[in-house]
Amino acid sequence: MLTVTEKIIFIVLTVACLGASFFTFTKMFRVIGLGKDPIDWKKVAQNWKVGVDTFISQKTLFKTRPVVGFIHALVAWGFSLYLFVNIIDVLYGLIPNFKFLPNHFLGDIYRISVDIFSVLVLLGVIYFLARRFVLKDKRLQISAPVMISNSALKGMRFDSLLVGSFILVHVGSRFLSASFEIAGSHSDWSQPAANLVSKIWIGMDHDTILVMEHITWWLALGLILLFLPYFPYSKHAHLFMGPINIMAAEKRKSMATLEKIDFEDDNIEQFGAAQIQHLPQAQLLDGYACIQCSRCQDACPAYETGKELSPSALEINKRYFFNENLDILAKGESVDKALTDWMLTEEAAWSCTTCGYCVEVCPVGNEPMVDILRARQDLVMMESKFPEEAMETFEKMENYGNPWGLSPQDREAWMDGYGVPLMREKKKVDVLYWAGCSGAYDNRGKEISQSVADILNKAEIDYGCLGNEEMCTGDSARRIGNEYLFQTMAEQNRETFDQYEFKKIVTQCPHCFSTLKNDYAEMGIELDVVHHSQFIDELIQENKIEPQPWVDEDVTFHDPCYLGRHNNEYDAPRSVLQSVLREGKIKEMEKAKSESFCCGAGGGNMWYEIKTGERINQNRVKQAVSTKANTVAAACNFCNIMLEDGVKTTQNEENIKVLDIAEMVSQSLSE
């Protein structure tokens, strides 16, 4: 089809643009190489199936926003089909009279799918552009008071417009080109849409149609070539970087369980991340994988309540920081700027409740929460810069072994009259019941502990409590970034565990649960830990207890982050709850299970308060109230405290009450 001159121009352009693109890509990978903990590219390559599977199935897109996810899938599938189409079209341009399997049913299938997908991609992209620029979907925007760099703000709009228009013009021209080809030859039933459009060109003279065919061919394929050098700079690079990022995912015991820091290693001079080069390579890759969809901030408790944090802004800032400093970073030099000056503010870092929503929903496997945890480690251990109340918490944990700062001698006070056996007397048991600090000191927590003890007694479990020998697991310390304090506490608890024999630990607090199960395993302390919801559920299944249903009013269940997202347990607490319902039903909140909304206490936020914006617990209580349920059931001491406070401070005491599932079960067991 093409003339000789056109062919030469095309080939020269192809080589030049591919070269430029490749050059930028190598730079990007050198930027990634600046990080610590090198990515094992061999392993990543071996993981190819995961990447291909994610790309083809588009399954990570459907975790939230299913409609948009579906449209994205259409665009993605259509676009990949277009990679093949482009090759065929290039051959068509270069080889005279080339047609792909003209009289073969495979050729027909090819043409018909290209035709249909062209229309779908066009509609999809028009929708996406309209959503961003006309409808101005709030979910794509990052609102104040989040810090977002100027280059990111400008770049985001420009990038979206450019990428959107590129797809529009590329696919559109290709589609028109097909219609001109049909108009120039004869109608083609295997390209119904193009066939239809070709009717418009009836009456055009043959030469004009030929010129139009050339123009649209160049618009479709020449544009691809011109876009290639820009491609790596744009967020469109997520097409490769997304799947690669998923393939390169770091394996963690749970989403907030970072690797153990070896404090004996004198070679480590930097703990946590102060600057970009202190982040692991896999997390630098996150910046390139991000497509700026901002799904991560949809139910981010900090962002939704108007705080300075947006996990999306974090990754976007990262990306534009790379773009701005590409040449310096690619040389392997660092830029002397603190993460808290450009990636997220210090207050944003402290606003994170480590609820894990951002990590859970990210379609390309980014982990903004982990960046935050690493930034906190630096702020705490290197710079001693953190909320003042957190300092008091550390000191209380150091001095009294619990974040409440109450006497370690008072840990057994809740046991009075509940016949709770103690490990120091029994020495050997089946089940070690870990009441936790809140279960020992907080008034509501104590009642929950008493309920659990009641259930254990009635199920005739051979169990024991550590009582005054128990000590905080160090959860809050670890999430706030005080790894050193966490390890000190873990070591002390290890010594206590070593004195006794037990098969299993039952906890009522998901924070204790996750920390003992995952973070202690990271420390080399292997324990079999279950949450009370799982244990009680087991007791019911095995008929060791028989709850008498008594709840006649509707109940909504608030998923604790460290039970749900962090440990994938959504069913056990619901099953337990079901066992006590008589007339009442479970009414789910809009944000439930893996999309649940944090109570506001996680990540150490229990101990300090970020005053910007609305209070998270009040927001969550309003969500619970809107279900019209009369009870919000919780399965975490922190959640219980936060929700109860939220109920009181939003004047909802008449509308809803907060109960732990253990309390509901205990109440259902006859004497």
Question: What are the residues binding other proteins (CB under 8 A)?
Answer: 263, 271, 380-384, 386, 388, 391, 394-396, 399-400, 405-410, 484
CA distance 482 to 394: 8
Buried b (16+ CB within 10 A) or exposed e, 507-536: bbbbbbbbbbbbbbbbbeeebebbbbbbbb
Q: How far is CA 659 from CA 359, 569, 577, in A?
A: 29, 19, 11
Nearer to other proteins, 25 or 484 (CB): 484
CA distance 601 to 637: 10
CB of 482 to other proteins, least distance (A): 9
CB of 439 to other proteins, least distance (A): 18
**Residue 40 CB contacts under 8 Å (≥ 6 apart), including other chains:** none
Nearer to other proteins, 177 or 487 (CB): 487
Number of neighbours of residue 647 by Cβ within 10 angstroms: 22
CB of 479 to other proteins, least distance (A): 16
CB of 272 to other proteins, least distance (A): 9
CB of 391 to other proteins, least distance (A): 5
Nearer to other proteins, 350 or 597 (CB): 350
DSSP assignment string, 331-388: TTPPP---HHHHT--HHHHHH-----HHHHH-TT---HHHHHHHHHHIIIIIT--S-H
CB of 662 to other proteins, least distance (A): 27
Q: Locate tokens 């953190």: which residue?
A: 386
Nearer to other proteins, 407 or 649 (CB): 407
Q: What is the DSSP letter of 464?
A: E
Contact predicate 272/266, CB 8 Å: no
CB of 324 to other proteins, least distance (A): 31
SS3 content of the chain, % helix, strand, coil (to 5): 60, 5, 35
Nearer to other proteins, 124 or 403 (CB): 403
Q: Locate tokens 């962090």: which residue?
A: 566
CA distance 77 to 117: 8
DSSP assignment string, 617-668: HHHHHHHHHTTT-SEEEE--HHHHHHHHHHHHHTT-TTT-EEEEHHHHHHHH
Number of neighbours of residue 329 by Cβ within 10 angstroms: 24
Nearer to other proteins, 393 or 631 (CB): 393
Contact predicate 76/58, CB 8 Å: yes
CA distance 57 to 516: 36
Nearer to other proteins, 389 or 546 (CB): 389
Nearer to other proteins, 408 or 613 (CB): 408
Structure tokens at 334: 């660092």
CA distance 557 to 578: 11
Nearer to other proteins, 380 or 621 (CB): 380
CB of 368 to other proteins, least distance (A): 24
Number of neighbours of residue 123 by Cβ within 10 angstroms: 14
CB of 264 to other proteins, least distance (A): 10
CB of 604 to other proteins, least distance (A): 14
CB of 550 to other proteins, least distance (A): 39
CB of 384 to other proteins, least distance (A): 5
Length of the chain: 671
Structure tokens at 611: 């005053």
CA distance 356 to 594: 9
Nearer to other proteins, 242 or 387 (CB): 387
Residue 285 identity (one-letter amino acid): L
Nearer to other proteins, 9 or 406 (CB): 406
Nearer to other proteins, 10 or 271 (CB): 271
CB of 489 to other proteins, least distance (A): 15
Structure tokens at 514: 């996750």
Nearer to other proteins, 72 or 396 (CB): 396
